[in-house]
Each structure stands twice: as structure tokens, then as C-alpha cells.
Structure 1
Amino acid sequence: MNVVLGLYNGLIGTIVPFLFVLLVVVFFHELGHFLVARWCGVKVKAFSIGFGPELFGFNDSKGTRWRLAAIPLGGYVKFVDDLNPASAPTGETPVQLAPEDEAGRFQTKSIGRRAAIVAAGPIANFLLAIAIFTVFFMAYGKMVFPPEVGAVMPDSAAAEAGFQPGDQIVSIDGSKIRIFEDIQRVVSTSANETLTFGIERNGRSITLQAAPQWQELDDGFGNKMRIGLLGIKPVEDSAQLERFDLFSAVGEATFRCYDIMSRSLGYIANVVRGIEKPDQLGGPIRVAQISGEVATLGFAALVNLAAVLSVSIGLINLFPIPLLDGGHLMFYALEALRGRPLSERAQGLGFQIGLAIVLAMMLFATWNDIARGINIG
């Protein structure tokens, strides 16, 4: 009985936070498409959170069916002339519309309006993340350490390069360093790459070169991650609380989003180059596990995770893969260059390839989850 209750509580503690995070991110993504579509005069037939059978729904005054579906792994906005939720060509006869709905067709809008509607989803994800991070920075501020070396770890890249306690790190590869976090951000994604550090030591400027070393760390929840480490620590008890007004909080939040995207793209680039292993890629099971773990830290931590995931979802959707928003934008760019759209056959083939790529990515990410031995109970 205790085992059953433990499993039940474990599943609830994982699934509920996962659904909260995912539904918030998906809702704002689709809301971006929806609002810009309405603004551009496109009639929206359905706004769905999830796929499959409808669990709950209602019609608004403009005829849009708002629905919550049984499979909550995504969502879609379906326009009045769409033959499927992905707005992909199918070779079927175009939808016959009532005369009053003709002006609301998506496919007859200008390239600019179609592109704006498609891009609005990822942009909404970025704006959601910026809004959340802004509130956090204004409410809690941010603990920062000065970029001073407090300790050098033995047998580390820093020790080999000649770093000493008291060194002030003022630049890395010519980029200015303001706080210790700036050092960590650069070093963590630069394993085995030689970096040039500008140092202030005893009133004089010197230059040191070091290549951060790969190291596998525990994230605090028993999960492993590989990052680059230099082997230095900040000065103990030197942390200061940095406060933000609205303007500076928005700037810091925007940079936080940029940093998440930069790290993600850097990791993918390193995987392609063979520098990184692709085992850090995770799927829905991984997201569910992380959501449950973060939920134990409190609601604020879970909302922060939603912001991070929102950036990731927005970025992924901009990849130029047919079926994703980025694939649609790629087709519109080609249409603008050619002066006419690609043939329906070419677009259909592109969407089939895109579907295969997306499914392969999902299967690979899920396999990674299983290979890690993730236990969501």
C-alpha cells in the first residue's frame, strides 16, 4: 500500500508541475499566433491546447472554438482555410468557405502578414520569458560576485595557466567581464578551447591563456551534466545583492534570454562538430522529471523553469525545418525571392521531410531519457 501511495504521489508530483509548465508555454505560443492572426484579418477556426479528443471547449463571439484536448504535448491555431492543424498542403481541394469568411483566409494574405502570424508564436515565447525574468529581477534582485579570484583549484586549467588568488579578471578574448557569472558563462561552453584572459594583478595588467577542462557535475537532483571548468572560485562572502529598476530589469531579462539561446545553439553546434556528445538532449520525460524536481523548490522556481522552457520552445520553433514555424518562414522567404510560392508538391515533400526530422528528434530525445534511466515516479 505504501509503495502504491509513494508511486502515486511521485507521479502527481511530477505530472502536475510538468503540465503546468508545458501548458503555460504552449498557451502563450499559440496566443501569439492567434492575436496577430486576428489583427491581420484572418479568421481563426480553432485554438487548441493539446491534440486529440476534446476534453473541454467553448465558442467565442467570433466563431473560434477554444478547446483543451486529451494529449497535452503541444497545441495549434487552425485558420478557417486550413486543411490540417499544421497549415501544410495536402493536395486536397481547397476548403470551400461561406462568402462572409472569404476575407478571413490565411493563404491569401500577403507574405508579410503570413510571416508575422507565424513568427508571432516564438516571439510570444520570448516575450513571456522576458516578462517573467523581469518580475523576478525586480522582486528579488540578483546575487553577484565580483570577478576576483578567491581560490585556485589544484591540478586545474587555472593552476596550470598561472592564476593566483586576488587576480581581477577584466576580460576574456577581448570581451569585458563585469561579474563572476560572466566568467562562468564563457568558460562553461568553452571546454578545450584556449581562452585569453585579461588580468589585473597588483596594479598591473597581464595576460593569461587557459583551456577550460571538461567535467561532469551533479545538478543537485542526481542528474549529470558536462561543462567546461577553469578551476577558480570567487572570494568567499563577497557576494552583493544587485537591485534592478524596470528598465534595467528588462535589459537583464532580455540578456538572460539571449544567453539561454546562445548556450543552446553553442551546444548544438558542438554536437555537430563532434566536440560535444548529444546525450544532453532531453524529451518530454526529461522535462517532466525536471519540472517535478524544480517544483520541490517552490512555485517561483517552477515559474522560472517555465520561462527557460519558453525560450527553448521559441528557439526550436524557429529552426528552418518544415512543419515548424521556422520552416514556414523559410518557405515565405523563398516565395519572396522567387516572386511566387513553391509548388504544392515541393511544399508537401518539404513537410513530409520536416515531419520525419521532428519525429526522429523526438525519438532520439526520448531514447536519451530512457538511456539515463529516468524514473518519473
Structure 2
Amino acid sequence: MDQIASAFFNTDGLLLGTVVPFLFVLAVVVFVHELGHYLVGRWCGIGVKAFSIGFGPEIVGFNDRNGTRWKISAIPLGGYVKFVGDMGVTSSPDAEADRNLSAEERRVAFHTQPVWKRALTVFAGPAFNFLLTIVVFAVLFTAYGRYVIEPMVAEVRAGSPAEKAGFLPGDRFVLANGSRVETFSDVQRIVSGRAGDEITFVILRGGNEVTLKATPEVMEQKDALGNTVRIGAIGVVNNESMGQPRHITYNPGEALVQAVSETGHIIARTGQFLQRFAVGREDRCQLGGPVRIADMAGKAAKAGFEWLVQLVALLSVGIGILNLLPIPPLDGGHLVFYAYEAVVRRPVSERMMEAVYRTGMFLVLAFMGFVFWNDLFGC
């Protein structure tokens, strides 16, 4: 009995070592996303009936002075804000309930608002996810700074794409695919997501700029948390002598600029990954669901609180991007409907909306099933 309790309740056990960090990460990301919807919706004068972290039966909650029910629900895989006039948690109007709305309720109902207010309220969820990531990175850069390495080539691995392209020890990266290279991390960032794509490099050799082309190949390696990842690599190695690692500190303003830049890089890489995945050019095992996230949260918590916070930032970006995909009932699907309404000056017909919602819900459920399969059986 003591062994079972220890397995659950010590810091290396299932409960405190994995479940609690997972719930912390997910709750923060979901809360910030839904807070975006809530705050902007209230700013636009829209009434809010419920704010929930999780789905399903309510575990605990309270009513605020505006009549909004704040609650934590039993299924922690998401959350929602339910506005006045909504049929459910997807902000679709309920025709029957609409007829029973009072004049005051109709004035603050979501579906009676101008299209720009609805669009702004919907977009606020993903936008707050991106803002959360920026804030986290800004705090971390202010507190810890960062280590950078000069973009030098110390070694070229035999038989690698870099050797075939003509790279030599002592080369210094200047450009990669037209992007300016300042550190060796810039090279890794550009190369890692482009396995199989030819990349044009400009390098500095003996005071002269030389143009080389190399096609990254897929390599397996361990990330900072010990997870096996498959990334693109050209086969160049840096070292302390050539790279001259140094620690850079930032004031809050500089840290904010760096945080915005870093968040932009992550958004771009995530979008690039999804595009490549859609055409079968990325390993399906790179996509994971709740089980994978829980495992990563446990590893991050063991590595230190700053690692757990970084995971929050990365997951927040992912949630923001996924919610902007143009698929109902995701936020991006709503935005497509509102764009149509703004252009043609009338909303999408109920029949069309219902058909698209059914299709979108099927796609979302299929995706959820896919990542669950990957978590449990597929990879």
C-alpha cells in the first residue's frame, strides 16, 4: 500500500510528477485563451453567461456580480466562454432561445452584435495565446538572458549534405535562404524544419562571400527534455573554440523585442510544419496529444520551473495557431463565416452553417483521435 501511495504522491510519481504539471500547463493556456474571448467580449458590450475551464459536469464554481458563472469542469481538455444567446460552447445562435430573450438580453447577445465585434471577440482567444508566449519569453530573457554561439563551422561530418555542398571548417554563415544569420541557433532554426528542401547559404570564407546549396537530411536526436525528435540537419558541427559562446543580458525593452521575434519564429515554424505535414512531408509521430503533453510537462517540471513555463509558452503558441485554422468549430472557422458576412452583407445560411459545422466537427474529432492514437499506440 505504501509503495502504491508513493508512486502517486511523491514528486517523481504519477500524480505530483506528471498529472499536476500537466493540469497546470493546460489550465494556464486554456485560461488565457478563454480570458481573451471574455475580456474583449465584455469590452464590446457582449453578455457572458459562463466561463469554464474544462468541459462536462461542473466541479466547483461561483457567480460574479454580472451574472457570469465561473467554473471548473470535470474534463480538463479545454474550456469555453458561453455568451448570451449561444446555443452551446461554440457561440452559435439558438433560434428557439432567441425568441425567449428579453429586450435587455437581446441587446447584449453575441449574435446580435456587429460583425466586427464578433470577429474581434473570437480572434482575441488566439491573440491572447500569442501574447502569453511573448510575456513568458520577455520575463525569461529579462531574468536569465541567453547564451549565443557564433555561426561558425568547426567540423563537417563525412558523407553529410554539408560535405557534398562544399562546406569547410572555418566557414561563417552569413545568410540562409535569404535570412540574415546572427548566431548558430539561427542556422539550426532554419535548417531543422526543412528536411528535403534545398537551402541556399551564403558563407564567409577567407574574407569572401561564397554561395553554397545543401539539402538537409532527417536526423534523430534528443531535445533538452530527453524526447526523441526528427529534424533536418546538414551535418556541420560547432564547438566552444570556434563558436565562442557568450551570455547576453537584456533590459526589459530589449527582452520584449527578443520575445516578439522568438514568438514570430515559433509561429512561422509551426505553420511550416503543418503545411509540410498536410502533404505528407513530416513524420506523423511528431504530433502528440494529451498523453504526450503530460509526459513533457512531467519532464519539464523535473528540469525546473523555468522549463515548465517555457512549455506553457510553446503550447500556448500551438493552441493559438490550431484555433486559427479555418475549420468550424475552431475560432478560425468562425472568422471565415464573419469574413463572408462582411463581404456579402448577410450571414451564412443556417443550412450551410450546419453542414459546415458537422464537417468541421468530424475533422476536429478525427484529428483528436489521430493524436490520441499516436500517443497510445502509433508511435
Settle same-fold status: TM greater than 0.5.
yes
Cα deviation for residue 255 of structure 1 reads 1.7
Which residue matches 2:363? 357
Cα deviation for residue 360 of structure 1 reads 0.3
Which residue matches 1:148? 152
Which residue matches 1:54? 58
Cα deviation for residue 144 of structure 1 reads 0.4
Which residue matches 1:134? 138
Cα deviation for residue 98 of structure 1 reads 3.1
Deviation readout 1:261-320 (Å, 9 max, x if unpaired)? 211121121122222232211111111111111111111110111011111101100000
TM-score by length of 2: 0.94
For this pair of structures, how many residues does the alignment match?
373
Cα deviation for residue 372 of structure 1 reads 5.1
Q: Does 1:335 align with 2:354?
A: no
SS state of the match for residue 94, structure 1? helix
Deviates more, 1:355-364 or 1:151-160: 151-160
Change (3 A) 1:146 1:241: same
Deviation readout 1:159-211 (Å, 9 max, x if unpaired)? 22221221111111222111111100111012122222111111222222211
SS state of the match for residue 230, structure 2? strand
Aligned match of 2:107 in 95, 103, 109? 103
Structure 2 residue identity aligned to 1:87:
S
Change (3 A) 1:269 1:56: same
Aligned match of 1:35 in 35, 39, 43? 39
Which residue matches 1:178? 182
SS state of the match for residue 327, structure 1? helix
Deviation readout 1:135-180 (Å, 9 max, x if unpaired)? 0011111100011112222221112222122111111122211111
Cα deviation for residue 93 of structure 1 reads 4.7
Tell me the distance in 2 between the aligned counterparts of 1:245 and 1:273.
Answer: 42
Which residue matches 1:307? 313
- Greater RCO (Cα-Cα under 8 Å, separation 6 or more): 1
Which residue matches 2:295? 289
Preserved CA contact (<8 Å) 2:157 2:163:
yes
Preserved CA contact (<8 Å) 2:85 2:93:
no
Cα deviation for residue 14 of structure 1 reads 0.7
Preserved CA contact (<8 Å) 2:86 2:94:
no
Change (3 A) 1:132 1:208: same
Deviates more, 1:147-156 or 1:67-76: 147-156
Ranges in structure 2 where 5+ consecutive residues have no aligned partner = none
Structure 2 residue identity aligned to 1:292:
G
Preserved CA contact (<8 Å) 1:83 1:95:
no
SS state of the match for residue 58, structure 2? strand
TM-score by length of 1: 0.95
Deviates more, 1:29-38 or 1:256-265: 256-265
Q: How does 1:213-224 map to 2 (within 5 A)?
A: 213-219=217-223, 221-224=225-228
Tell me the distance in 2 between the aligned counterparts of 1:96 and 1:47.
Answer: 22
Which residue matches 2:83? 79
Aligned match of 1:11 in 14, 20, 42? 14
Change (3 A) 1:204 1:140: same
Tell me the distance in 2 between the aligned counterparts of 1:60 and 1:225.
Answer: 46
Q: How does 1:232-247 map to 2 (within 5 A)?
A: 232-237=236-241, 238-247=244-253
CA RMSD, aligned part only? 1.6
SS state of the match for residue 190, structure 1? coil
Change (3 A) 1:95 1:15: farther
SS state of the match for residue 36, structure 2? helix
